[in-house]
Amino acid sequence: MSAVTELVRECHTRGIRLKVTRDGRVTIDAPRDALSPEFLERAKAHKAELIDRFATRAPGAAAKPVCRCGSTAWRDVAIHDGQSTRRDCAGCGRFVDFSRWYGAIALQADE
């Protein structure tokens, strides 16, 4: 597994969201305790690869639908007093995924 793939999986596990802005900067949205100095160093070391992986498509490029209704957009909905985030289709409101689930954190704490 590549270092970038491992970093992306870690982001998913910790509830960290990476986004590449139009001007090529990487922004990080994360819970307070999710970011460690070691994680930030690895993210900086692989910044160019992260930009390639998450850069916005060129205008006119076809986006992959997130839902069977054909919508390509979603909205994040905080649940469980903000501890979890449910991802719903922005077009029809149908559940798509859990982008952050507190149950995974509870399971890790038990190990």
- Domains parsed from the chain with CATH numbers: 3-54 (1.10.10), 74-110 (no CATH)
pLDDT of residue 109: 47
* pLDDT tens, position by position, 2-18: 888 888 888 888 888 88
Rounded distance between C-alpha atoms, residue 98 and residue 4, angstroms: 22
* pLDDT tens, position by position, 86-104: 888 888 989 888 877 665 5
Question: Which phi-psi region, left, alpha or beta, contains residue 15 (left: φ > 0; alpha: ψ -120 to 50)?
Answer: left
